[in-house]
Each structure stands twice: as structure tokens, then as C-alpha cells.
């Protein structure tokens, strides 16, 4: 027996070395951790339980029978993060460049099936040269098996993808279907076709970094939600992100114990400028309202005119969607609508209540916006809010104009509580624009048109540039003093914690994608 145990030990020791020390050194020389080091950093100490360690490929072409590495380029394991069960796979670049073979794919599929059956998140650490070239269509089939599972698991368990090396070709579509993608700066890239193909087909010369590096996807394409400076930071971000999410769609995220104290927010009103034309940073308001240092921003560099992210309020996880007056005056445009709609749906499928902070002058006008489909993209946000069944609260800090008022989680589309500060202006449009349209004749024929415009503007502002018209109709539940915001929100969310709201029976809705 001892001989057999020794044989097992020697096989496992060989597996621990992946593609061998030389390739491990090469991985380190690029500033990257190995797959095994990444998993160990991710999981609670001593909690990693690897399975499929002795799996090998089944390829006998191109001399592959001479190159057998245990694990076949991917490590699959379960373990815990802050004592919560997770399933994790990490592609091992030291084995055939982490390329995906039939057996490599089978390991990932087995892991995903287990995660689904046991209602636990899946975390994929990607670092791969793509399809195992020696295997042809068997590799492509393996990818499709994974994509299919990604889709089936979507909305059931959280799926997080970390891109920590190459991720190219069709391989990008597994991360693309998951809930969150985080990329490591300078050592990872994602693209469907790389710089060489781009040069051949379009004659454009572009580096991998600019075509599909972390910054590109965070700010230009919006494909990724988070970036990290290095592997270590990436793993820490994944762990933090997970703390805001539940294990699966049947439960709520774990709350941190919180004792109510004096929740008065002194001085918060001074953030809003006297003039409605002046910008201010909505993140200053977010920071004051939520639990200290609990804001975890998502999609920070993309469509900065809207801010989305997770936070805690009295220890409970919430999702925040907030117009940002600092950028494009907080207008809704194509990208902001897509960004916010995606976030709203992410929160809704994982039972995370939504808080909307509204200061929106309307949709961004222009041919660029119209031609890029502001109609169907704006509709995505309207749709996402309308179908969300989680507790939903809106606070209007200043402007709530036009169609954007309806879209930003208004009472009319199912919000549970709508609050406004006394500084709120809820109207079809700003006073100046409105006056110029409805009093045009009177102003033009006045002895002093400039003064007439000012008078009419004042009249309009007094009537509509406030929250009281909306409050009188019940469209606003309460006009609150800014200092009371935190306690009001804590109490309101607490009252909604057992909310039940079911959508009409259907196969699925048809969101304007």
C-alpha cells in the first residue's frame, strides 16, 4: 500500500508543477502569479479543495502524446472566501499556454454544474492562448459547452471573470456572458481579432494594449466593469465584490451587523450649489449617505455621467444608480443608459435593493445620440427599472426633467418610495427653455423682451421648479430635509425587506437589446 500511496504523492507533486519550473519562472518574470498562486490568494487559507488534478488530454496528433501535463492547463477547485462556498477555476498558462482542450473544457463544465447544483458563485481566472490548436473542433465544442452553461447559470449564481493574461478570439464570450469582468492592467488583453488580423484586414496598426487592454475596455468599450493594477489587486477586488453579492438568486446578500445611532447628516445640503446651472460631485453625496467607506464603484471609467456601484446602508448591501452632474451635466446618453440598465438588472437578479439619486436635465440631444440609438438604449434603462422587483427608492436631489424623470425609477414605473430634497425641480424642462417656448409671443411683443423673459422664467420657476407640485399629486412620497436622508432611507429600506412583487406570467420579456 505504501508504494501506491507514494505513487499518488508523486503524481500530485508533478501536478503541482504544472508545465514545469522553467515556465513558472517565465510567468513570474512577466509580473504574473501562477494559476495555483492565484487560487491560494483568492480562497480562505487551507480551504482549497482541488478536483480533476490528474486529468490529462486525449490528443495523439502533432506529438502531443509526448507532452502530458496533469490538470491539462486548468485548475478546478472549491473552497471558501470569507467562509462562503465558491467554485473557482484558474487557467494555467504554463501548460500549453493555458489553451483550452476538450478535457480542459470538461473540467470547467463539471465545476459549473456543481456550482449550479449547490447554489454557489463561480469565479474564473482567465489566462489562456485560446483554443488548443492541436485539437481543432473539439476545442471549439468545449468553448460552446462553457458558453451554454454561462447562459444557463446567468441570474442563478453570480459569475465573475478575472482576465489575468491573454483572452482572445471566441474565448472572450464566456467572460462576456458573466456578471462581472475585471482586467489586470498591462498583463491582460481581450479581443475577438488581434492586432495582426486587424492589420491584414483593415491596414490599421494598433498594439494589443490599445486594442484590448484593461483601460480600453474599462473606458471605451465598456466590456469590463473593473480594472486592477496587478494580480494581487485583482484578487482582492474579486473578494470584495463578492461581499456585496448573495450566494444565488434565492437568497439575499449577507448583512453586516449595524446598530442605529444618530444618523443626522450635518452639512450635506451645502454640496448642492445655489445655482441650478452649477455642477457638483454626486459621489460626495453618496459617500455621506452610505456606511463609511462602503462604496464599491462599478464601471467607473465608462459613461461617467452616471455613477453605479454597490454600497452598504446600515450594514445591508444596496446598489446605487446616480446621475453625475459633473459630467455632461448628468444627462442620460446611450452609454449611460446601457451602463445603468445592466447594473439595475444585475442588482435585480441578485436581490440587491436599488437606491437612485437623481439629478438629470434630460436625454443628451444630437444626431450622434439619435443615430446610435438613444431611443432603444434609453428604453433599456426604462425597461430594466420597470421590470425590477427588488425594493426601489429614488431621491431627487435637484433636477428631474422630462422623459428622464420617468426613466430614473419614478413612482410611475414601480418605485416603492420617492423622496425629494427641497432643492428638487421636477418639470418637463428647465425654466428658461420652457419660458422661451410657451411665452414666445408675449416675450417677442413686450416692450422689453429681455425683462419679459426674466419675469416669465421666474413665474414658471415658482410654479414648477420645485418638488411640491409632484408631492401634491403623490408622485413624491415625502419632501425631506437633506440632513434626514440617511435615517429616512434606512427606515424605508427596512420596511421593504419582505417585499413581494411578481412579474406577470411569461416566457421572458423582450428587452430592446
Catalytic residue among 119, 155, 170, 315: 170
In whole angstroms, how far apart are CA 406 and each of 230, 237, 318, 327? 41, 34, 22, 21
Residue with cell 413686450: 446
Give the number of residues in contact with ligand HXC, rule: CB under 6 A. 16
* String of contacts with ligand HXC for each residue 48-87, x by CB under 6 A: ----------------------------------------
Among 91-99, 311-319, 383-391, 404-412, the segment contacting ligand HXC (CB under 6 A): 91-99
- The binder of ligand HXC chosen from 96, 244, 296, 460 (CB under 6 A): 96
Question: How many Å from the N-terminal Cα to the C-terminal Cα in the chain?
Answer: 61
Among 95-103, 148-156, 336-344, 373-381, the segment contacting ligand HXC (CB under 6 A): 95-103
Q: Is 169 a catalytic residue?
A: yes
Q: Is 315 a catalytic residue?
A: no
- Which positions from 211 through 240 interact with ligand HXC, judged by CB under 6 A? none
- The binder of ligand HXC chosen from 27, 59, 76, 99 (CB under 6 A): 99
- The binder of ligand HXC chosen from 18, 130, 309, 330 (CB under 6 A): 130
DSSP codes of every residue in 289-347: HSSTT--EEESTTSSTTEEEEEEEETTEEEEEEEE-TTTGGG-B-HHHHHHHHHHHHHH
Catalytic residue among 98, 169, 309, 430: 169
Provide the 3-class DSSP secondary structure of residue 474. Answer: coil
Q: Is 171 a catalytic residue?
A: no
DSSP codes of every residue in 226-254: EEESSHHHHHHHHHHHHHTS-SSTTSPPP
DSSP codes of every residue in 172-183: GHHHHHSSEEEE
Q: Is 403 a catalytic residue?
A: yes
Catalytic residue among 119, 155, 373, 403: 403
DSSP codes of every residue in 183-220: EETTT-EEESS-HHHHHHHH-----HHHHHSHHHIIII
User: Closest CB to ligand HXC among 100 and 355?
Assistant: 100
Q: What DSSP state is assigned to residue 363?
A: B
Q: What DSSP state is assigned to residue 50?
A: E
- The binder of ligand HXC chosen from 8, 54, 133, 266 (CB under 6 A): 133
* String of contacts with ligand HXC for each residue 152-191, x by CB under 6 A: --------------x-xxxx--------------------
Burial of 365 (0-12, 13-18, 19+ CB in 10 A): exposed
Provide the 3-class DSSP secondary structure of residue 146. Answer: helix
Catalytic residue among 214, 340, 404, 471: 404
- Which positions from 406 through 445 interact with ligand HXC, judged by CB under 6 A? none
Q: Is residue 343 near ligand HXC by the rule CB under 6 A? A: no
Q: State the nearest-atom distance from the C-beta of 396 to ligand HXC, in Å.
A: 46
Burial of 413 (0-12, 13-18, 19+ CB in 10 A): middle
Among 46-54, 127-135, 350-358, 474-482, the segment contacting ligand HXC (CB under 6 A): 127-135
Closest CA to 509 of 389, 383, 391, 407: 383
- List residues binding ligand HXC (CB under 6 A): 23, 96-97, 99, 129-133, 140, 143, 166, 168-171
Question: So which residues are the catalytic ones?
Answer: 169-170, 403-404
Amino acid at each position: 500500500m505504501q508504494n501506491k500511496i507514494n505513487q499518488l504523492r508523486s503524481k500530485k507533486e508533478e501536478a503541482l508543477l504544472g508545465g514545469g519550473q522553467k515556465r513558472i519562472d517565465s510567468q513570474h518574470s512577466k509580473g504574473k502569479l501562477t494559476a495555483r498562486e492565484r487560487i491560494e490568494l483568492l480562497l480562505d487559507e487551507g480551504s482549497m479543495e482541488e478536483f480533476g488534478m490528474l486529468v490529462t488530454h486525449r490528443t495523439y496528433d502533432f506529438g502531443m502524446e509526448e507532452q502530458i501535463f496533469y490538470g491539462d492547463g486548468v485548475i478546478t477547485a472549491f473552497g471558501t472566501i470569507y467562509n462562503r462556498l465558491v467554485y473557482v477555476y484558474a487557467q494555467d498558462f504554463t501548460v500549453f499556454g493555458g489553451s483550452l482542450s476538450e478535457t480542459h473544457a470538461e473540467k470547467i463544465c463539471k465545476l459549473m454544474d456543481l456550482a449550479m447544483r449547490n447554489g454557489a458563485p463561480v469565479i474564473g481566472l482567465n489566462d489562456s492562448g485560446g483554443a488548443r490548436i492541436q485539437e481543432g473542433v473539439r476545442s471549439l465544442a468545449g468553448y460552446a459547452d462553457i458558453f451554454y452553461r454561462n447562459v444557463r447559470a446567468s441570474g442563478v449564481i453570480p459569475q465573475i471573470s478575472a482576465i489575468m493574461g491573454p483572452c482572445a478570439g471566441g474565448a472572450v464570450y464566456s467572460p462576456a456572458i458573466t456578471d462581472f469582468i475585471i482586467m489586470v492592467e498591462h498583463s491582460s488583453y481581450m479581443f475577438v481579432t488581434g492586432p495582426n488580423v486587424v492589420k491584414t484586414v483593415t491596414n490599421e496598426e494598433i498594439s494589443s494594449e490599445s486594442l484590448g487592454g484593461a483601460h480600453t475596455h474599462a473606458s471605451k468599450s465598456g466590456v469590463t466593469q473593473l480594472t486592477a493594477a496587478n494580480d494581487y489587486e485583482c484578487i482582492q477586488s474579486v473578494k470584495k465584490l463578492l461581499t456585496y453579492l448573495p450566494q444565488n438568486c434565492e437568497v439575499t446578500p449577507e448583512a453586516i451587523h449595524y446598530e442605529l445611532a444618530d444618523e443626522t447628516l450635518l452639512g450635506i445640503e451645502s454640496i448642492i450649489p445655489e445655482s441650478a446651472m452649477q455642477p457638483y460631485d454626486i459621489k460626495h453625496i453618496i459617500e455621506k449617505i452610505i456606511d463609511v467607506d462602503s462604496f464599491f464603484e462599478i464601471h467607473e471609467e465608462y459613461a461617467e455621467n452616471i455613477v453605479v456601484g454597490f454600497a452598504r446602508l446600515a450594514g445591508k448591501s444596496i446598489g446605487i444608480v446616480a446621475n453625475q452632474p459633473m459630467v455632461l451635466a448628468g444627462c442620460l446618453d446611450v452609454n449611460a443608459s446601457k451602463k445603468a440598465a445592466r447594473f439595475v438588472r444585475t442588482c435585480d437578479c441578485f436581490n440587491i435593493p436599488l437606491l437612485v439619486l437623481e439629478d438629470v436635465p434630460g436625454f443628451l440631444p444630437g444626431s450622434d445620440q439619435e443615430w446610435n440609438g438613444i431611443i432603444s438604449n434609453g428604453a433599456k434603462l426604462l425597461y430594466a427599472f420597470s421590470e425590477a422587483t427588488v425594493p426601489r427608492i429614488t431621491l431627487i436631489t435637484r433636477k428631474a426633467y422630462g422623459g428622464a424623470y420617468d426613466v430614473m425609477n419614478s413612482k410611475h414605473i414601480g418605485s416603492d418610495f420617492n423622496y425629494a430634497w427641497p432643492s428638487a425641480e421636477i418639470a418637463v424642462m428647465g425654466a428658461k427653455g420652457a419660458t422661451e417656448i410657451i411665452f414666445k409671443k408675449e416675450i417677442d411683443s413686450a416692450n422689453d423682451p429681455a425683462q419679459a423673459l426674466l419675469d416669465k422664467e421666474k413665474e414658471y420657476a415658482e410654479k414648477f421648479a420645485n418638488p411640491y407640485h409632484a408631492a401634491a399629486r403623490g408622485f413624491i412620497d415625502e419632501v425631506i430635509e437633506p440632513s434626514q436622508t440617511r435615517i429616512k432611507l434606512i427606515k424605508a429600506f427596512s420596511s421593504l425587506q419582505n417585499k413581494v412583487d411578481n412579474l406577470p406570467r411569461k416566457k421572458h420579456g423582450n428587452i430592446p437589446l
